[in-house]
Amino acid sequence: MKGQPYPPRFDRKEIVFVRHAESQANVDGIWNGQTDGPLSDHGVDTLDALGRRLSDWEFDAVISSPLQRARLTAESFSEEVVIDDRFMEINMGEWEGKHFTEVQEQHGDELKAALEDRSIPFGGTGESLDQATKRALGAVDELFAKMGDNERVAVVTHGGFMQSVLHRHMAGVKGRVHSFTSNTGITRIYHQFGHPRLAVFNDTGHLGPVSKLVQSYLDDGDDVIALIRHGRTEANVRGMWQGQGDWGLDEVGLRQAESLGKAYGQHDLVYSSPLKRAFSTAQQVSLNGPIPDEDFMEVNMGEWEGLTTQEIHERFPGEMEKIFRDGEDLPRGKTGETWTQLATRFGSAIDRVEHREGSQTLVVAHGGAIRSYISSLTKTTDTHAESLFTPANTSVTHIARTDSGPQILDYAVATHLEDLE
């Protein structure tokens, strides 16, 4: 169905978070917090594109923070908006209404302390990061608990609130490793098998194929790497664990790859896993032909390759329980790779890719491999990055390599699939 590129499976619940459109305080560099204020002229202009896109999606409810910058954003795609105070921005205490520079100059040490010690309140009388996270995750978990199977709810909220939500999925080891959610950025979280999992982060595809955030990093001279999952295969449809089995794209996968090429364009520097499903996808976005690299291949599944999930559960129940329930990082299918080996291999390959100033470097690979790399940048310690959902076929994830380390700019964005029937 148009507007729903990856429809929910049975028993999956979904919350679609939308950060409000640009506010005047965003433009002026003011910390608004829970102070109300209008949208900027540009923010109002972006509502049309957001509204057109989300009006095609089916929501069982649309919830908004009471602050007008969020409420007006919600009203751009829904006539029935439920107001809920729990989804308000972080309370910034005495820093509300002050310019970022003023806070930095006059309260720099306090700000640094509040960011490093999550128990210290912002602005003396505001919320701490721990308090904000407890409020945010409590609201999210309570909402999921009230939702029925296959329900989808939209929540329009704020950047600081989204930082608290994302802390559960992409917390950094020494600090934040992902960007601040962009205005009108869409973040999708699935709840399935008892766990919330981040499926999409910071999708602004309604504003253009190259996000303003990605372009800003390119303009600053940073390396930007686009990680792209291959198009669909018959094995994907049949629920088979492909691993390093060499499946080609099916008819839908070919259309997905072609749609990706039309939306994303062709690029000079494109690396690819040599497996057919990835290499065929890479050809759609490459000007000069993809550069094959075996280290971008999917995890070696050993004896599990070519089997369905049900078949693996039946034949290898002990190994499945040890890996996915008990958290032991064992070789997949007895003779394959561990999750750590996959992440190390893929990460090493990312570290050695070339870069051309002012343009992105593309890497076309696989869902598990991309997820392992993203999880390696965070505090994730489990054996399969359970807090992250596998990226959709032909989705794009952008990483900026900065002086302070890699930054996750978005995750698993596949706006181009919404044009496919």
The domain that holds 79 is classified in CATH as 3.40.50.1240
Average pLDDT, the chain: 94
In which band, very low, low, confident or very high, does the pLDDT at 2 lie, cut at 50, 70 and 90?
A: very low
In a shared domain, residues 132 and 241: no
Mean pLDDT of 326-355: 96
**pLDDT exceeds cutoff 70 at 259:** yes
Boundaries of domain holding 263: 217-419
Burial letters 4-43, b for 16+ CB under 10 A, else e: ebbeeeeebbbbbbbbbbbbbbbeeebbbbbeebebbeeb
**pLDDT exceeds cutoff 70 at 168:** yes
Q: Which of 156, 178, 205 is the last residue of a domain?
A: 205
**Residue whose C-alpha is closest to residue 245's, from 229, 234, 258, 253:** 234
Q: For residue 186, what pLDDT is reported? A: 98
Residue type, 312: I
Q: For residue 8, what pLDDT is reported? A: 44
Number of domains present in the structure of the chain: 2
Write the pLDDT tens digit of every residue in 288-300: 999 999 999 999 9
**pLDDT exceeds cutoff 70 at 115:** yes
**pLDDT exceeds cutoff 90 at 308:** yes
Write the pLDDT tens digit of every residue in 18-39: 999 999 999 999 999 999 999 9
Would residue 8 count as lying in a domain?
no
In a shared domain, residues 281 and 169: no
% the chain with pLDDT above 70:
97
Q: Are the C-beta atoms of 170 and 198 separated by less than 8 Å?
A: yes
In a shared domain, residues 248 and 144: no
- d(CA 67, CA 89) in angstroms, rounded, equals 9
Q: For residue 10, what pLDDT is reported? A: 55
In a shared domain, residues 186 and 232: no
Q: For residue 357, what pLDDT is reported? A: 87
In a shared domain, residues 63 and 164: yes
Q: Is 11 left (phi over 0), alpha (psi -120 to 50) or beta?
A: left
Would residue 7 count as lying in a domain?
no
Mean pLDDT of 337-342: 97
Burial of 183 (0-12, 13-18, 19+ CB in 10 A): buried
In which band, very low, low, confident or very high, does the pLDDT at 6 lie, cut at 50, 70 and 90?
A: very low
Q: For residue 421, what pLDDT is reported? A: 62
Tell me the Cα Rg of the chain: 21
Mean pLDDT of 67-76: 98
In a shared domain, residues 381 and 261: yes
Collect all residues with Cβ–Cβ distance below 8 Å to 255 and sequence separation of at least 6.
231, 420
Put simply, whether the predicted model's pTM sits higher than 0.85 gets the answer yes
In a shared domain, residues 200 and 229: no
**pLDDT exceeds cutoff 80 at 278:** yes
